[in-house]
């Protein structure tokens, strides 16, 4: 056998070995992503009109970051338009997406949403915080929790600082109502945790920490939302400044777990946001989480997708005493701009740098 034949055989063997190795490597299944049930992303789409396929992709993409949680926002007038007759259609779709992607759910059931009450269904009228509303709330939430076993935490009062300050809501009346609802639901669903939510930036900007203190012993945790904004809804802090704000949650609630229901950093230049600061804040925020994990019930980023500019309408009315220039409309426009650009993915489906950063941070936590 001459040298040419030997060389040819050697090359052929090398090629075959290379092909076999390549095939073996291609058959190795990818490592499954470890999802963290304490870390969430609010799943949304860039438009309100959405197909099942688009929604399925949004949930799958969110889960691929390692997030193991999302929020479900329910309004009583939608879920129970007639007493005892529930509209499960839309909620069933959303909850099936969460279940398919192994995501736990934090439910926000809107009884108080900042300066707004409800909205309640027409058949209820406008009940106050008393025995009748207690019974109705327990019945409806029991039905929801019995249907969806992936809901492990519930908030019924959101941005309570604004409700007590601007709408002159009674802390004593609300606390009694909440504690009674909590006691009855806890008997029925002992594994579900319940809490109230406050706006951390609202508390800091307006010195309203007393409301947190008065309600801190109610429920299983105290939740916060956070935007790094001033009273005009401009981003007026650096990411490091915002880290100091997050620390205040632990100072306000020293004896109970906190939860971060929504945390964000907008990239809208209209409110002084940009993509680099969003990346830096993501690093800061998840470093805070890792340092204080044992004190945190859950930690959820708001949100996945941007929305088109001008489409994030804010219905809340802002009191004139809370703004110094521009008036109510000016403040609402800025909050709308902030919200529309708070996502990790742009409306054209192109990712911001923050998406890869939050993926790194979640997987490292």
State how far the Cα of 64 lies from the Cα of 50, in Å rounded to an integer.
Answer: 20
Q: What angle do CA 159, 162, 166 make, to 5 degrees?
A: 160
Got the DSSP string for 302-349? S-SB---TT---------GGG-SSSHHHHHHHHHHHHHHT-SSB-TTS
Q: In degrees rounded to 5, what are phi and psi of residue 189? A: -135, 70
Domain boundaries, the chain: 36-316+343-364
Q: What is the pLDDT along the chain (365 residues), one digit of tens a residue?
A: 444 444 343 434 444 444 444 444 455 566 778 999 999 999 999 998 899 999 999 999 999 999 999 999 999 999 999 999 999 999 999 999 999 999 999 999 999 998 888 999 999 999 999 999 999 999 999 999 999 999 999 999 999 999 999 877 799 999 999 999 999 999 999 999 999 999 999 999 999 999 999 999 999 999 999 999 999 999 999 999 999 999 999 999 999 999 999 999 999 999 999 999 999 999 999 999 999 999 999 999 999 999 999 899 765 443 433 333 445 677 888 999 999 999 999 999 999 999 999 999 999 99
* CATH superfamily of the 36-316+343-364 domain: Glycosidases (3.20.20.80)
């Amino acid at each position: 056998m001459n040298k040419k034949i030997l060389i040819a055989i050697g090359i052929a063997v090398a090629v075959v070995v290379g092909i076999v190795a390549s095939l073996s490597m291609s058959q190795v299944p990818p490592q499954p992503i470890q999802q963290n049930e304490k870390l969430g992303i609010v799943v949304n789409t860039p438009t309100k009109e959405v197909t099942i396929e688009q929604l399925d992709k949004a949930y799958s993409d969110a889960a691929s970051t390692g997030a193991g949680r999302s929020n479900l926002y329910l309004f009583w007038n939608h879920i129970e338009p007639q007493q005892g007759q529930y509209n499960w259609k839309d909620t069933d779709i959303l909850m099936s997406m969460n279940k398919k992607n192994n995501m736990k759910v934090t439910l926000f059931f809107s009884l108080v949403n900042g300066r707004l009450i409800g909205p309640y269904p027409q058949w209820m009228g406008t009940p106050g915080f008393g025995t009748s509303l207690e019974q109705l709330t327990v019945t409806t939430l029991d039905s929801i929790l019995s249907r969806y076993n992936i809901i492990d935490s519930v908030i019924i009062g959101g941005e309570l600082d604004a409700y007590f300050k601007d709408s002159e809501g009674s802390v004593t009346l609300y606390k009694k109502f909440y504690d009674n609802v909590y006691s009855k639901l806890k008997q029925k669903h002992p594994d579900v945790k319940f809490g109230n939510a406050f706006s951390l930036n609202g508390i800091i900007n307006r010195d309203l920490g007393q409301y947190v203190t008065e309600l801190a012993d109610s429920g299983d945790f105290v939740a916060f939302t956070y935007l790094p904004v001033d009273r005009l809804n401009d981003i007026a802090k650096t990411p490091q400044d915002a880290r100091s704000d997050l620390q205040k949650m632990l100072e306000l609630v020293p004896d109970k777990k906190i939860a971060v229901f929504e945390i964000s950093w907008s990239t809208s230049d209209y409110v002084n946001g940009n993509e680099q600061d969003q990346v830096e804040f993501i690093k800061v925020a998840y470093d805070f989480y890792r340092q204080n994990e044992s004190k945190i019930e859950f930690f959820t980023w708001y949100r996945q997708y941007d929305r088109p500019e001008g489409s994030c309408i804010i219905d809340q009315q802002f009191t004139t005493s809370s703004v110094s220039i521009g008036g109510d409309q000016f403040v609402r426009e800025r909050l709308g701009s902030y919200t529309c650009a708070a996502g990790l993915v742009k409306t054209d489906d192109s990712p911001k740098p923050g998406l890869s950063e939050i993926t790194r941070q979640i997987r490292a936590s």
